[in-house]
A and B are shown apart, each in its own frame.
Chain A
């Protein structure tokens, strides 16, 4: 049975419509339930003693003063925790050569970054725990520090983990076609060194966890601000030696995640270990400095890249040498090599060309570990690619639109395999670009730009085409040995009153997962959306699934929900057919009632059907199946990933006196396949764009040479605020994936993926007449003035 998605007048049509989010009024009234809002009897609080050194040997730990402080219950060292918790090693088998040392929840012999937890103080209040943590004396012996990524592999650089032999975590070279030949024979070659700054997510709700261990039941319950509750269930079970069935992870409301909350954090595992040792609930909520020093960082890359084109602007070859540093450990269990790996996979992605070489070098250093953050690797790959494409256009005197038209994969070219060996099922680069030009009125903007220039005002237009990896299969992590689910499940159940409950393994962090699932289930069963209640984020009740990562909620979780909903519909109709002495195929469900599909006439309400099934089952034929609960699981199988595509544009003004960039407007056209709720998709894209704009203009974690983090507060680490952000126009092209009935691909990261490149190209478009160019993000006033030669390098 297929759904006629094209027909807006179809019965129960919720898929494709903006309907309100059921959980929004609750949040708007301050009735959310975040981890820190949960209070349990006998609850204790933990605060961590963290290394002030980037690299130091840990000598004696003197906790006498802390233990004597008011309210303190216990103090734990790394050795204490190691007694109940095994260490982890964050490697994946398919990332060949990736290495990382065993990591403990609390450092035992050595601390390897500023902020690494070294000891834990448990007290009756958070304030008491924090005060006492300051009284713990640790005898540190400072060790040589490795901070610079480009010299991390030099002979003279100390090796952070002597057992690993060197500071190389991972290296991958991908080569396709005759790269050297193409460069040698090229009409023009453009090259540049790009830099993307270390970022962090700055989720407004800090990382939070509350773990209760009930020894009487042998059950661990963790209220956890996480994106992947089932993954965390598996991790806690494995490393704390509890049967998986006796670990329950609940993630109710989560205050922002963006990939930051999909990782295993030592202090969170330590909290679980402490709860297990103490046999009582223990809460940990990071403070803001802890967030800056211990939330994962990302995007710390330096890239040398070049592009070869012929006289017509046709791309011949691309050559990328990417370097990144990940801190002292690869982060469990996704590993910190994925970001560099993505750069290799994604560079050149929108373009049809033959010869490609990309290398990523991932090294260890004594800074906060880096790992996956929204649009992993994408903003880097898009900036490199789109930066070079614009430089080539400028060299050839081509308009940036024209060079893209000449190189983007044709919309009827699919399926194709890119030189990076990515397989594209169906993309719409040209249609998207055309739509973008229409939305932004490109010609009028160019005219405005020219006018402004006459007035001495420097405006720029930047375009960035991109691809985005969504709906991942086990090829992302599973084949590497990580227990991270790429499949997801949904259980859909009809209750006696005819209402429907859907339990899903994907999670809600504000992106609107629950609204999206409610719409799908409503349409799939045939009830109104307000009759559907969605339950997510509780491993004890939802089907095992992956949660939120790699923009998989709608594409994977949504398809599972649709299939489960259709199965429930069939089950209901089987019962109804028996009751109405009809055939299931001659009945339909619309607006909560079994109807005649021809006339739409109601034959039986679901409430009445529910009454009979649940309370007067004796009146139904013996042996009649009456399973008003159905579960379906979904996993993609034809393609490792469902790629989406899109294109963004930025219009901005550069003040050449001050170096300040003012964003005037931003556009994005995105093709995420079937759209389930247009408003939610648009707002995902807008939120994503703004995070990308932050990367382009403001966000940068600074360290000194000793590995001290210099801007560990919200006052010092700049993120976009309302006053600086532009209005954003969002448009769509819809190319549903054929892998599923629903046809949805992901939309959560596209905004972040393309925005920095669009801004970079716009700034350079503005600066080009002045002979200046910038490729190191963020584009701070200082960097712009240096490029202009106003201040010296």
Chain B
């Protein structure tokens, strides 16, 4: 067995609803796999050790940090990134609210922030501002000061509740 084969692993998963098969380096993180191999550059790497939340993507229904999970661990998983969530329209209202409220400035934190916010909104009908702040407290934003983000998430929560969503 040569070295190349030894430190590479075959994976099969779905990413944004599309099947993906790949042979990934054993040590490659999911975020690098998504960005480098699949060209899904929406989610970002920033701290690369699980603190900032910029790399947040959805894996099997949970918001996870793409820099803490190995691509190899995603074998068989269902992965959604901001690109896929945009295409399905699942977070269109959140994205609209972020734009309307200017809840993003440089936008580097935004894809991770949106995935995290959507996870909260899927769980909680009417989160309070404090709950929103608490839930997003694993996601850094150095530009906005957070208030606009909290406003945007709150607006969507209210609107979704109004539609009798859940």
Which A residues lie within 8 Å of B40 (CB)?
30
A690 CB within 8 Å of chain B: yes
Asked whether, in the complex, the Cβ of B136 is within 8 Å of the Cβ of A29, the reply is no
Given A25-B95, A722-B150, does the pair A509, B106 have CB atoms closer than 8 Å? yes
| Residues 247-263 (chain A) with a chain B CB within 8 angstroms | 253-258
Of the candidates A23, A27, A723, A725, the one whose C-beta lies within 8 Å of that of B145 is: A725
Q: How far is the CB of A186 from chain B (nearest CB, A)?
A: 40
- How far apart are the CA atoms of A723 and B143 in the complex, in Å? 15
Quote the shortest CB–CB distance from B21 to chain A (angstroms).
Answer: 21
Q: Give 1 or 0 for each of A661-680: 1 = CB within 8 Å of chain B CB.
A: 00000000000000000011
Do A691 and B140 have beta carbons less than 8 Å apart? no
- B60 at the A interface (CB under 8 A): no
Q: Using an 8 Å CB-CB cutoff, how does the interface string of A362-384 with B read, 1 for contact, 0 for none? A: 00000000000000000000000
Q: Is B46 an interface position by the 8 A CB rule?
A: yes
Nearest CB of chain A from residue B32's CB, rounded to whole Å: 8
Interface flags for A6-39 (1: CB within 8 Å of B; 0: not) read 0000000000000011011111111111101101
The segment from A110-118, A201-209, A349-357 found at the interface with B is A201-209
Encoded as 1 (CB less than 8 Å from any A CB) or 0, chain B from 10 to 52 comes to 0000000000000001011000100100011111111111011
Q: How far is the CB of A711 from chain B (nearest CB, A)?
A: 12
Q: Is A727 an interface residue (CB 8 A)?
A: yes
A205 touches B143 (CB 8 A): no
B48 and A205 contact, CB distance less than 8 A: no
Q: Per DSSP, are chain B's interface residues mostly helix, strand or loop, or mixed? A: loop
Complex CA–CA separation, A679 to B151 (angstroms): 13
Task: Output the residue of B44, B52, B82, B109 with the most chain A CB within 10 A.
Answer: B44
Does any Cβ of B come within 8 Å of A683's Cβ? yes
A689 with B133: in contact, given A20-B99, A24-B107 (CB under 8 Å)?
Answer: no
Q: Establish whether residues A288 and B105, one from each chain, have CB atoms under 8 Å apart when the complex forms.
A: no
> B52 touching A714 by the CB < 8 A rule?
yes
Q: Is A511 an interface residue (CB 8 A)?
A: yes
Q: Does B139 contact A (CB under 8 A)?
A: yes
Q: Is A434 part of the binding interface, using a Cβ–Cβ cutoff of 8 Å? A: no
The answer to whether A510 touches B143 (Cβ under 8 A) is: yes
Contact of B142 among A20, A691, A724 (CB under 8 A): A691
For the complex, what is the distance from the CA of A511 to the CA of B107, rounded to whole Å? 10
Known A512-B102, A686-B148, A725-B147; contact A205-B44, beta-carbon cutoff 8 A = yes
Rounded to whole angstroms, the CA-CA distance of A21 and B106 in the bound complex is 12
Q: Which of A30, A255, A720, A751 contacts B42 (CB 8 A)?
A: A30
Which residues of B97-137 have CB atoms within 8 Å of chain A's CB atoms? 98-100, 102, 104-111, 114, 129-130, 132-134, 136-137
Q: Does A184 contact B (CB under 8 A)?
A: no
**Contacting residues of chain A (564-590) with chain B, CB-CB under 8 angstroms:** none
- Tell me whether A467 is interfacial, beta carbon within 8 Å: no
Q: Is the CB of A29 within 8 A of B82?
A: yes
Q: Are A512 and B105 in contact (CB under 8 A)?
A: yes
Which residues from 714 to 739 on chain A have a C-beta closer than 8 Å to any C-beta of chain B? 714-715, 719-725, 727-728
Contact with B along A125-149 (1 / 0, CB 8 A): 0010000000000000000000000
A24 to B46, Cβ gap below 8 A? no
Q: Smallest CB-CB separation from B136: which chain A residue?
A: A722
With an 8 Å Cβ cutoff, the count of chain B residues facing the other chain is: 57
Q: Is the CB of B105 within 8 A of A683?
A: yes
A637 at the interface (CB under 8 A from B): no
| Least CB distance, B28 to chain A, in whole angstroms | 8
> Chain A contacts of B108 at CB under 8 A?
32, 34, 204-205, 253, 255-256, 510
- CB of B107 within 8 A of CB of A28, answer yes
- A38 and B52 CA atoms in complex are apart in Å by 22
A30/B86 in contact, CB under 8 A: yes
Asked if A255 and B137 make an inter-chain contact with CB atoms under 8 angstroms apart, the answer reads: no
CB distance from A30 to the nearest CB of B (A): 2
With A27-B110, A256-B108, A723-B134 given, is the CB distance from A679 to B102 under 8 Å?
yes
The answer to whether A204 and B44 touch (CB under 8 A), given A20-B99, A24-B107, A715-B51, is yes
Interchain CA distance A162-B45 in the complex, whole Å: 42
Tell me, yes or no, whether B78 is within 8 Å of chain A by CB. Answer: no
CB of B47, distance to nearest CB on chain A (Å): 5
> How many angstroms from the CA of A723 to the CA of B137 in the assembled complex?
6
Would you call A687 an interface residue if the criterion is a C-beta within 8 Å of the partner chain's C-beta atoms?
yes
From the candidates A25, A253, A511, A680, name the one contacting B99 in the complex (CB within 8 A): A25
A287: Cβ under 8 A from any B Cβ = yes
B144: interface (CB < 8 Å): yes
A482-523 residues with Cβ-Cβ distance < 8 A to B are: 509-512
The answer to whether A719 and B140 touch across the interface, beta carbons within 8 angstroms, is: yes
Separation in Å of the A261 CB from the closest CB of chain B?
A: 11
How many chain A residues sit at the interface, stated as a range, is 35 or more
Interface residue B54 (Cβ < 8 Å from any Cβ of A): yes
CB closest chain-B residue, reference A287 = B48
Chain B residues near A417 (CB-CB < 8 A):
none
Q: Is the CB of A728 within 8 A of B145?
A: yes
Chain A residues with Cβ below 8 Å from B86 are 29-30
Given contacts A24-B98, A721-B137, contact A511 B42 (CB under 8 A): no
A510 interface neighbour in B107, B114, B130, B150, Cβ under 8 Å? B107
Q: Is the CB of A687 within 8 A of B144?
A: yes
A245 within 8 A of B: no
8 Å CB contacts to B: which residues of A194-212?
Answer: 201-206
**With known contacts A29-B83, A723-B134, A714–B51 Cβ distance under 8 A:** yes
Q: Is the CB of A34 within 8 A of B133?
A: no
Contact in complex: B145, A683 (CB < 8 Å): yes
Query: Residue among A21, A688, A722, A751 with the most chain B CB within 10 A?
Result: A722
Contact at A510–B147, with CB atoms within 8 Å? no
| Chain A CB within 8 A of B63 CB | no
The smallest beta-carbon distance between B133 and chain A, in angstroms, is: 4
Q: B residues within 8 A CB of A509?
A: 105-106
| Chain A residues near B83 (CB-CB < 8 A) | 29-31
**Are A28 and B104 interface neighbours, CB within 8 A?**
yes
Nearest CB in chain A: distance from B13 CB, A: 19
CB atoms of B107 and A255 under 8 A apart: yes
Do residues B49 and A715 form an inter-chain contact, with CB atoms below 8 A? Answer: yes
Q: Contact mask B49-77 → A, CB, 8 Å, 1/0?
A: 10110100000000000000000000000
User: Please, which residues of chain B bring their CB within 8 A of the CB of A687?
Assistant: 105, 142-145
CB <8 Å contact, B144 and A30: no
Provided the pairs A288-B46, A683-B144 are in contact, do residues A30 and B106 lie with their beta carbons within 8 angstroms?
A: no
The reply on A790 being an interface residue by CB < 8 A is no
- In the complex, what residue of chain B is closest to A689 when comparing beta carbons? B145
Query: A680 contacts which of B27, B95, B102, B106 (Cβ < 8 Å)?
Result: B102
* Alpha-carbon gap, A289 to B112, bound state (A): 21
- The complex places the Cα of A34 from the Cα of B45 at a distance, in Å, of 11
* Minimum C-beta distance from B79 to chain A (A): 14
In the complex, A285 Cα to B5 Cα: how many Å? Answer: 28
- Does A658 lie at the interface of the complex (its beta carbon under 8 Å from any beta carbon of B)? no
Contact A34 B47 (CB under 8 A): no
Quick check: is B157 within 8 A (CB to CB) of the other chain?
Answer: no
Asked if B106 and A722 make an inter-chain contact with CB atoms under 8 angstroms apart, the answer reads no
Assuming the contacts A127-B25, A690-B145, A725-B133, asked whether A204 and B102 have C-beta atoms less than 8 A apart, the reply is no
Is the Cβ of A256 less than 8 Å from the Cβ of B145? no
Known interface pairs A21-B102, A203-B142. Does A288 touch B44 (Cβ–Cβ under 8 Å)?
no
B98's contact among A28, A33, A37, A713, by CB below 8 Å, is which? A28
Query: Residues of A contacting B32 with CB < 8 Å?
Result: 127
Which 4 pairs, one residue from A and one from B, show the smallest C-beta to C-beta distance?
Answer: A30-B42, A27-B107, A255-B108, A510-B106
**Contacts A36-B35, A722-B136 supplied; 15 other A-B pairs, CB < 8 Å:** A20-B99, A21-B99, A29-B82, A29-B95, A30-B86, A34-B44, A201-B142, A204-B44, A205-B106, A253-B106, A510-B143, A683-B105, A714-B51, A719-B142, A728-B147
Report 11 cross-chain contacts, Cβ distance below 8 Å, ordered by A residue: A30-B81, A36-B44, A39-B39, A127-B27, A127-B32, A203-B142, A204-B142, A288-B47, A688-B145, A690-B144, A720-B145
